[in-house]
Structures are given as C-alpha cells and as structure tokens.
Amino acid sequence: MRDFDSDVVLDNPAFIHDTALVYGKVFIGEGASLWPYVVIRSEMHEVRIGRRTNIQDFVMIHVGNETPTIIGNNCSITHHVTVHGADVGDNCLIGINATLMDGVKVGQNSIVAGHSIVTEGTVIPENSIVAGSPAKVIKARDNSIANTLNARFYYENALAYAKGDHRVTERESFRKAMDAETRALVEGA
C-alpha cells in the first residue's frame, strides 16, 4: 500500500492506484478503493471515505470553504465526478461527470444521474433519483440493493487489481461473492 503524509488515515482499503493523489486530513475506510488519477485534497476540514466505497477514475474530491466532504459506506463515485464539500449518505451512486457542490447533502440509497450539477446547499432526500442542471428529484425509489451490488462489484474488482488480476469477472469466486451478496440483500429487504 502506498505511503501518504501522516494526516492520511488508511483503514485497510482494498486498492489504491499508484496515480491517486491524496493530501491533507483524509480518512479512507476498510475495503474502499481509489482508482486511476483520483485527486483528494483537504487543506482544512476533512475528507472521509466510507467502507467499501469506490472512488473511480479521474474523480476530484475537495472540501468546501465551510464544509468537509463525507462519503458514506457502499458508495460508487463514478468516473469524472467532482465532490466539493458535500455529504453523501450510505449506498449512493453518483453518476459519471456529476458535480456535487458545497453543502450538498445526498440522502442514503440515492442516485445522482450522470452530468447532473447539484448546486450549493441542496438537500436530496433518502431513496431519491436526481437529474439535471440544476439537479432535481425526478423519482423516489429505494436504490439500496442496486447501489450496494455496484459497490460490491468494485470491491471484488479492487481486491483483484491489488493482486494484478484485471479480469475478476471471469472468476468463479467473483460470481459466488456477487451471488452471496445478492441473496443477503434480497433476504434482508
């Protein structure tokens, strides 16, 4: 695992790519993953990345002037997303190239559609799907199972990448892990 400055706390993440840049007071949770060209900066406040959350390629995470950035457990922050001083609840998916601005609060089990811009101070209720610029709630639905399964996919992929295996979906162990996660989620619902 990479060495970062003393303010960066790693709680056994699954994978951190060599190109990921992490500066300031940052906590990265157990089983989390940082993919190529992620940038996380926290010159004030803090950034917290939850358990089994994946921060995908080219994501930029920064703090706001008055707000930290907190991302919950089992989240997928997809390619080219910008999170700037926002709070994202557990089991959320933030779509490709979306932007979350200072003071945004995304309720758990939500989806922010790709290319959406969630403006300063917006509060998104739990179990929402939001889209647009500025983003607005377009549907209410519990997205927890789909979002958690996406996070599990990235967790399994991260464990494989950490071993140099770039084709995890071809492995029987991957299919078994995903099936077990699906059963557990459906039975618990």
Q: What are the tokens at 150?
A: 């996406």
**Least-confidence region, from 94-103, 139-148, 168-177, 180-189:** 180-189
Residue 30: count of CB within 10 angstroms of its CB: 14
Which pLDDT tens digit goes with each residue over 25-72?
999 999 999 999 999 999 999 999 999 999 999 999 999 999 999 999
Domains and CATH numbers, the chain: 8-140 (2.160.10.10)
CA-CA distance, 51 to 29, in Å (whole number)? 5
**Least-confidence region, from 100-104, 126-130, 134-138, 185-189:** 185-189
Which pLDDT tens digit goes with each residue over 67-90?
999 999 999 999 999 999 999 999
Q: What are the tokens at 2?
A: 């990479």
